[in-house]
Amino acid sequence: MKEEFSIASSTSTRISFKTLTHQLVIMGKRPGRDPSAPKRNMSAYLLYQNAMREEFKSVNPGMTFGQLAKYTSAMYSELPPAEKETWVARAEADKARYLHELANYVAPPGYDPKGDAIVSSLQKSGRKGKPEKDPNAPKRNMSAYLLYQNAMREQFKRENPGMTFGQLAKYTSHMYKNLTPEEKATWEARAAQDKARYDAEIAAYQPPPGHDARGVLIEEHRPRKRNKRGPRDPAAPKRASGAYVFFTNYMRPKVNEEFPGIKFVELGKLLGERWRALTPEQKKQYEDMAAEDKVRFQIEMQQYTANQAAAAPPQPQEAASAEVVAPQDHGTASYYDPTVTHASLHAGHEYSSHHTQAYHHDPYGQQQYHAA
């Protein structure tokens, strides 16, 4: 029986995998592309990223994908202008290659001039996962198998506590296929009843504006999302560099003298090898540089935040309260406090400026207080 189950489940797995692959081709995250279409050109940064990815991964084995992307971006921004121009020149050459190949490319039927598949609006609505739907739209009907699966899931989980989600799905499929015709007819009758319910509800349903007859949001009415970052403030402080960046800045000219004309990728590999060969004591000087640079960045960022706050127009309530001062002058500007009477405003109760603490928001999570 177990052997029969494994054969049946593997067959159903192959069928479902083919079906799933077909659905992913039709409703994937990006439209299909003509295999013979020219490969798109890459920017200078992408060329640099692809060339240095493995090297940076070996230098920083514990980094996650996101951390590695930030690290690569920081390394690229630290490149000297001459080296960055090399990658820009490669990107220009790659763009010229792409434009030349694209000029000679003839798209087959069903593809646009760049080789991308022409998709309908219905297919586009499935490109970003489930399409947005009116919450008041009728709930879609379920097939006989889905009704059986929903009804039996918890029982099968109790009977097979060690099964993974995939194994449980295969087991449920196997159990459904082995139902007697009478048992299967019961579930098919429930599915027919559920379909009749859906048909009746959809016939009486009035979709809101911007939705189709089934309550799905039409693509043209979907709000557009803007993910582009704004331009970086040129007055913002330069980000702190890591220990490896200080090492490469020091060692790069020396390696170029030792190996004139060395390729950039080989230079990166050689620098990575030399960095890994350093002893902890040798690395400490660069780590100290990185620690000092981090402090420098925090101080500059704190001052930058203070300047931004000072440059912002004052709020009406703040401006009004700043103009109200106590009628007596004791040598230091004492600000009005409604909880303190005029009689108590003497030298022992003055709010002098050196006792006032100003708080500045630190965007990097380090809340610091300093004397105003």
Higher-pLDDT residue of 32 and 58 is 58
Residues 223-232 pLDDT 10s: 666 666 677 7
Q: Which residues, 6 or more positions from 296, have their beta carbon under 8 angstroms from its beta carbon?
A: 240
Looking at residue 162, what is its pLDDT? 79
What is the distance of C-alpha 198 from the center of its chain? 38
Looking at residue 148, what is its pLDDT? 92
DSSP letter for 221, please: G
Q: Are 91 and 47 in contact (CB under 8 A)?
A: yes
Residues 185-239 pLDDT 10s: 999 999 999 999 999 988 888 888 877 787 777 766 566 666 666 777 888 888 8
Looking at residue 89, what is its pLDDT? 93
Measure CA of the first residue to CA of the last residue in the chain; give whole Å.
Answer: 80
Residue position matching structure tokens 């300047």: 307
Residue 367's pLDDT band, with cuts at 50, 70 and 90, is very low
Q: Are 269 and 55 in contact (CB under 8 A)?
A: yes
Distance in angstroms (rounded) separating the CA atoms of residues 253 and 86 = 16
Residues 300-356 pLDDT 10s: 999 989 988 888 877 666 544 545 444 444 444 444 444 444 444 444 444 444 444
Residue 34 burial (C-beta neighbours within 10 Å; 0-12, 13-18, 19+): middle
Residue 267's pLDDT band, with cuts at 50, 70 and 90, is confident
Residue 295's pLDDT band, with cuts at 50, 70 and 90, is very high
Residues 89-126 pLDDT 10s: 999 999 999 999 988 888 888 788 888 887 654 454 44
Select from 133, 146, 147, 139 the least CA-distant residue to 201.
Answer: 139
